[in-house]
C-alpha cells in the first residue's frame, strides 16, 4: 500500500454541522458535558495542580500522574465547540482562566508537567515508559492548536512551542534516545508542525522530524525502557512497568508497541489506545513520503485489527488486564473491555488512512467506530460515561458520573466537538463526501472555493441531497462514498448531466460545474443480520443486527423485563419503525424461553417452554439510558 494523500479534511472553520444527529450531540456536550467535566477537573484538583505549580509549590500534587491530560482534552473540546456552535460566555471564561494558569505553570526551560513539578522535581524524564510526561505534553500541544484555531490567540500555542523546543533539545538522533510509553506526542508534534508551518517553517520542520524519528526509533534495541529498569530511583515511580515484561520476566515491550520497529510488526498487540495513537501518527507522518514499506506495514496491522481483533461495534481491545489485545478471534462479549478511548483512536487512524489512500473501506470502519464503539461511551443526556463497553451485560454494567482515571469523558467530548472533520475531504481536483451527514461547507477545489450543502437524516435514513454552488464555472469531480453496507444505490442527476461514473467505491460526477446544482443519492440500508467468523467462539449460532452504520442491541426494557439472553431471534423478520425519542427502533420476531420452575438440569430431549414475542431493538450507542437491566448484541438464532 502506497500512502499518497488523496484528500485533506475540510477545516472546522469552513464547515458548519447542521445535522440533527451530530449537532444535537454537540449542543448536549456544550450545554451539559463540558460544564460537568470542568467541575470535575476543579473538584478533583486537576485545575488546582496548575495553580500550585505556578506558585512554585512542592509535594502537593492531587490525583494520578497523568491528570494534566484531562484538562488539555477539555480545552480542546471547548475550543472546537466554539468553532462549531459559537462562543459560550461561561465556558469561554473558564477556558481563558485555565489557559492563563497553564502558561503561568510552565517552567523557564519549557518543561510542563504538574506531577513532576509538584511531586518529583528531581526525576524529570527519568521514567519515560510509564510516567506520561510526553503524553501529557502532547495533549497540551493539541489543546494549543485548537485554542489558536478557535481564538486566534498564541498564548497557549507559545507554551506548546516552548515545550516542543525543550523536548527537541533533549531527544533526537544526535541526542538522547527516548519516546513516551503512552504514544500521543508523535501526533501532537505533527499537528503543531502543520499549525505553524507558515509563521515558523524551521520549527515546523524540526517538530515533524522529531515525530518521525520517534516513530522510526520505537522498537529498536536497546530500548530506552529496558535501560530504565537499571534506574532504581526512576523505577520507584512506576512499579507497574512490569506490564512490559513477558511471562519469564524478560522485557518484551509489546504492551507499549516497543517489541519491534513498526515496519516489522504484523499484529496489533498491547494497549489498544497506545497502538491507535501510534499507528495514526505513523500514517500521518509517512503519507506522501513514497515509503511503500511503511504503507505495507500499516496495511498489515490494519488488516489484523479489523479482520481478527475488532468487535462488530468497532470496539477494540478485548482484555481488561492490559486494556488491549490478546490473540486472533478472542472477542468475548460480556467481558469485552473495548475502551471508549480505543474506539476514538480507531477513528483517528481510519481518518488518516482514508486521507492517505482514498480507500472507502477506511471510511466504513471510521463510521462504524464513530457511531457505535465511541459514541456508546457517553449517555444521551451527556452526563454519564462508559470507560469499557461490553456487548453483553446481565445488568451489571452502567455508565458512571466520572472516573479516577478520567481519560474517556473528555476524549469523547473532543471527538464530538470536531466530528465535522470526518464529513468532507478536499483535493486539487475533487471533493470527497465520506460521511453524508447534514452540513454546509466551503470547499477549496481547482483553485476556487465552492459551496456544498448536504441534507440528510443520516444515520436513520440513507437518502442524501447535495447542493453545489459554484460562483464561476469550475471543473472538478464530486465523489460520494458508497458505504460498504449499502445495497442498491440510486443517483438522481439534473437532466443536463452525464451519467455518474464509479471510481472504486465512490460515485464520481466529473464536469464543469456552474451556478447551483442539486443531486440526490439514495443508499439501500435495510436491516441486516450479520454473523461472526466461526473462530469467534462466543458468537457461534448467533447474529447481530445492523442497519446502515448502526449496530443494534436488545435491552430488558424492551422485553418487559425479561433478559435478552433468553431470547432466540428469527433473522428473517425485522421491521424498521418510525423515529421514537430520537431513535429509529427495529422490531424483530423471536421466542423467550420459559421454565422458571424447572430443574437446574434436565434431559436434552426435553424442550423448554417458549413464548413467541416481537421485541424492539435500539442502536447500541443508546443502551443503558433507561431502566437499568441486561443487554445483548449477539442474539441466539432460531
205-236 pLDDT, tens digit per residue, is: 999 999 999 999 999 999 999 888 777 777 77
Residue 239 has pLDDT above 90, yes or no: no
pLDDT band at 609 (very low <50, low <70, confident <90, very high): confident
pLDDT band at 246 (very low <50, low <70, confident <90, very high): confident
State the average pLDDT over residues 375-380.
Answer: 98
Indicate whether 156 and 269 sit together in one domain. yes
What mean pLDDT is reported for the chain?
Answer: 96
Indicate whether 189 and 335 sit together in one domain. yes
Residue 141 has pLDDT above 90, yes or no: yes
* Torsion angles phi and psi, residue 130, rounded to 5: -130, -5
Indicate whether 407 and 550 sit together in one domain. no
In a domain, 2, yes or no: no
In a domain, 442, yes or no: yes
Contact 389, 339 (CB under 8 A): yes
Q: Could you say which of 488, 523, 558 is where a domain stops?
A: 523
E strands, 528-584, in order? 528-530, 542-547, 550-555, 567-576
How does DSSP assign 69-112, residue by residue? HHHHHHHHHHHHHHHHH---HHHHHHHHHHHHHHHHHS-TTS--
State the average pLDDT over residues 519-545.
Answer: 97
Of 630, 631, 626, 596, which Cα lies nearest the Cα of 610? 596
| pLDDT for the residue numbered 504 | 87
| pLDDT for the residue numbered 255 | 96
CA pair distance 567, 559, nearest whole angstrom: 9
Indicate whether 321 and 233 sit together in one domain. yes
Range of the domain at 163: 8-422
Which residues, at least 6 apart from 96, have a Cβ–Cβ distance to it below 8 Å? none
Q: Which 8-state DSSP code applies to residue 500?
A: P
In a domain, 55, yes or no: yes
Cis previous bond, 287, omega within 30? no
> What is the model's pTM?
0.97
State the average pLDDT over residues 538-557.
Answer: 98
Indicate whether 549 and 499 sit together in one domain. no
CA pair distance 380, 375, nearest whole angstrom: 9
Contact 390, 335 (CB under 8 A): yes
| Secondary structure of residue 448 in the 3-state scheme | strand
Domain of 257, CATH number, reads 1.50.10
| pLDDT for the residue numbered 237 | 75
Which residues, at least 6 apart from 55, have a Cβ–Cβ distance to it below 8 Å? none
398-440 pLDDT, tens digit per residue, is: 999 999 999 999 999 999 999 999 999 999 999 999 999 999 9
pLDDT band at 249 (very low <50, low <70, confident <90, very high): confident
Domain of 477, CATH number, reads 2.60.40
State the average pLDDT over residues 101-109.
Answer: 98
> Three cell numbers at 50?
496548575
| pLDDT for the residue numbered 395 | 96
Q: What angle do CA 147, 153, 158 make, to 5 degrees?
A: 85
| pLDDT for the residue numbered 594 | 79
Residue 332 has pLDDT above 80, yes or no: yes
118-140 pLDDT, tens digit per residue, is: 999 999 999 999 999 999 999 99
Indicate whether 110 and 219 sit together in one domain. yes
Indicate whether 538 and 589 sit together in one domain. yes
| pLDDT for the residue numbered 250 | 86
Indicate whether 554 and 613 sit together in one domain. yes
| pLDDT for the residue numbered 242 | 78
Chain position carrying cell 421485541: 615
CA pair distance 228, 241, nearest whole angstrom: 10
In a domain, 83, yes or no: yes
CA pair distance 274, 257, nearest whole angstrom: 8
Contact 391, 634 (CB under 8 A): yes
How does DSSP assign 341-388, residue by residue? HHHHHHHHHHHHHHHHH--HHHHHHHHHIIIIIIGGGB-TTSS-B-SS
Residue 596 has pLDDT above 80, yes or no: no
In a domain, 3, yes or no: no
In a domain, 493, yes or no: yes
CA pair distance 225, 615, nearest whole angstrom: 53
Indicate whether 134 and 224 sit together in one domain. yes
CA pair distance 167, 160, nearest whole angstrom: 10
Q: Could you say which of 422, 439, 467 is where a domain stops?
A: 422
| pLDDT for the residue numbered 603 | 87
478-530 pLDDT, tens digit per residue, is: 999 999 999 999 999 999 999 999 988 999 999 999 999 999 999 999 999 99
Indicate whether 43 and 73 sit together in one domain. yes
- CA distances to 84, 369, 433, 468, 570 from 421, rounded to whole Å, are 11, 15, 11, 19, 39
Total number of domains constituting the chain: 3
Indicate whether 242 and 326 sit together in one domain. yes
Cis previous bond, 270, omega within 30? no
CA pair distance 404, 216, nearest whole angstrom: 33
Contact 427, 7 (CB under 8 A): yes
Contact 437, 21 (CB under 8 A): yes
Q: Which 8-state DSSP code applies to residue 11?
A: P
In a domain, 376, yes or no: yes
Residue 391 has pLDDT above 90, yes or no: yes
Indicate whether 394 and 534 sit together in one domain. no
pLDDT band at 602 (very low <50, low <70, confident <90, very high): confident
Residue of 594 and 26 predicted with greater confidence: 26
39-63 pLDDT, tens digit per residue, is: 999 999 999 999 999 999 999 999 9
| pLDDT for the residue numbered 607 | 77
Q: Could you say which of 523, 547, 568 is where a domain stops?
A: 523
Contact 198, 168 (CB under 8 A): no
> Three cell numbers at 605?
430431549
User: For the chain, what percent of residues have pLDDT higher than 90?
Assistant: 92
| pLDDT for the residue numbered 595 | 72
In a domain, 1, yes or no: no
Query: Cβ of 580: how many Cβ atoms within 10 Å?
Result: 10
Report how far apart the first and last C-alpha atoms of the chain are (Å, whole number).
42
Amino acid at each position: 500500500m502506497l500512502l499518497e494523500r488523496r484528500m485533506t479534511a475540510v477545516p472546522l472553520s469552513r464547515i458548519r454541522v447542521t445535522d440533527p444527529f451530530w449537532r444535537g450531540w454537540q449542543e448536549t456536550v456544550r450545554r451539559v458535558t463540558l460544564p460537568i467535566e470542568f467541575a470535575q477537573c476543579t473538584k478533583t484538583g486537576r485545575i488546582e495542580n496548575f495553580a500550585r505549580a505556578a506558585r512554585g509549590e512542592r509535594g502537593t500534587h492531587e490525583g494520578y500522574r497523568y491528570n494534566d491530560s484531562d484538562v488539555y482534552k477539555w480545552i480542546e473540546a471547548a475550543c472546537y465547540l466554539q468553532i462549531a456552535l459559537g462562543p459560550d460566555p461561561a465556558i469561554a471564561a473558564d477556558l481563558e482562566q485555565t489557559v492563563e494558569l497553564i502558561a503561568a505553570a510552565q517552567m523557564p526551560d519549557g518543561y510542563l508537567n504538574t506531577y513532576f513539578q509538584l511531586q518529583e522535581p528531581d526525576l524529570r524524564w527519568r521514567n519515560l515508559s510509564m510516567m506520561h510526561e510526553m503524553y501529557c505534553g502532547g495533549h497540551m500541544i493539541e489543546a494549543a492548536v485548537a485554542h489558536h484555531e478557535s481564538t486566534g490567540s498564541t498564548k497557549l500555542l507559545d507554551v506548546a512551542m516552548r515545550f516542543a523546543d525543550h523536548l527537541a533539545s533533549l531527544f533526537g538522533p544526535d541526542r538522547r534516545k527516548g519516546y513516551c510509553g503512552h504514544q500521543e506526542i508523535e501526533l501532537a508534534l505533527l499537528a503543531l508542525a502543520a499549525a505553524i508551518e507558515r509563521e515558523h517553517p524551521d520549527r515546523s520542520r524540526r517538530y515533524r522530524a522529531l515525530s518521525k524519528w520517534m516513530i522510526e526509533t520505537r522498537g529498536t534495541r536497546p530500548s530506552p525502557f529496558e535501560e530504565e529498569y537499571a534506574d532504581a530511583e526512576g523505577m520507584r515511580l512506576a512499579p507497574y512497568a512490569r506490564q512490559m515484561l513477558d511471562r519469564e520476566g524478560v522485557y518484551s515491550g509489546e504492551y507499549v508497541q516497543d517489541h519491534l520497529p513498526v515496519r516489522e510488526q504484523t499484529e496489533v498487540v498491547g494497549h489498544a489506545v497506545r497502538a491507535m495513537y501510534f499507528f495514526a501518527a505513523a500514517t500521518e507522518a509517512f503519507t506522501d513520503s513514497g515509503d511503500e514499506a511503511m504503507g505495507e506495514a500499516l496495511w498489515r496491522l490494519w488488516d489484523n485489527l479489523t479482520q481478527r481483533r475488532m468487535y462488530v461495534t468497532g470496539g477494540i481491545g478485548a482484555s481488561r488486564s492490559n486494556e488491549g489485545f490478546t490473540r486472533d478471534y478472542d472477542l468475548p462479549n460480556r467481558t469485552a473491555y473495548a475502551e471508549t478511548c480505543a474506539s476514538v483512536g480507531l477513528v483517528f487512524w481510519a481518518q488518516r488512512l482514508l486521507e492517505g489512500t482514498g480507500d472507502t473501506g477506511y471510511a466504513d470502519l471510521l463510521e462504524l467506530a464513530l457511531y457505535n464503539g465511541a459514541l456508546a461511551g457517553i449517555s444521551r443526556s451527556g452526563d454519564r460515561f462508559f470507560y469499557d463497553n461490553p456487548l453483553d451485560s446481565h445488568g451489571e454494567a452502567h455508565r458512571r458520573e466520572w472516573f479516577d482515571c478520567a481519560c474517556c469523558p473528555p476524549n469523547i467530548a473532543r471527538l464530538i466537538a470536531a466530528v465535522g472533520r470526518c464529513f468532507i475531504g478536499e483535493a486539487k481536483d475533487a471533493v470527497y463526501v465520506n460521511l453524508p451527514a447534514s452540513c454546509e461547507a466551503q470547499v477549496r477545489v481547482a483553485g476556487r472555493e465552492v459551496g456544498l450543502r448536504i441534507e440528510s437524516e443520516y444515520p436513520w435514513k440513507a437518502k442524501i441531497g447535495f447542493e453545489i454552488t459554484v460562483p464561476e464555472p469550475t471543473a472538478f469531480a464530486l465523489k460520494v462514498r458508497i458505504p460498504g453496507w449499502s445495497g442498491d444505490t440510486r443517483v438522481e442527476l439534473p437532466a443536463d448531466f452525464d451519467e455518474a461514473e464509479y471510481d472504486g467505491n465512490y460515485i464520481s460526477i466529473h464536469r464543469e460545474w456552474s451556478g447551483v446544482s442539486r443531486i440526490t443519492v439514495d443508499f439501500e440500508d435495510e436491516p441486516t443480520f450479520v454473523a461472526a467468523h466461526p473462530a469467534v467462539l462466543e458468537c457461534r449460532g448467533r447474529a447481530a443486527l445492523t442497519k446502515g452504520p448502526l449496530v443494534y442491541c436488545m435491552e430488558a426494557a424492551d422485553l418487559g423485563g425479561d433478559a435478552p439472553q433468553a431470547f432466540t431471534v428469527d433473522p428473517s423478520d425485522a421491521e424498521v419503525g418510525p423515529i421514537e425519542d430520537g431513535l429509529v427502533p427495529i422490531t424483530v420476531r423471536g421466542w423467550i424461553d420459559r421454565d422458571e420452575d424447572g430443574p437446574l438440569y434436565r434431559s436434552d430431549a426435553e424442550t423448554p417452554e417458549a413464548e413467541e414475542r416481537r421485541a424492539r431493538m435500539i442502536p447500541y450507542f443508546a443502551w443503558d439510558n433507561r431502566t437499568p437491566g441486561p443487554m445483548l448484541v449477539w442474539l441466539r438464532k432460531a
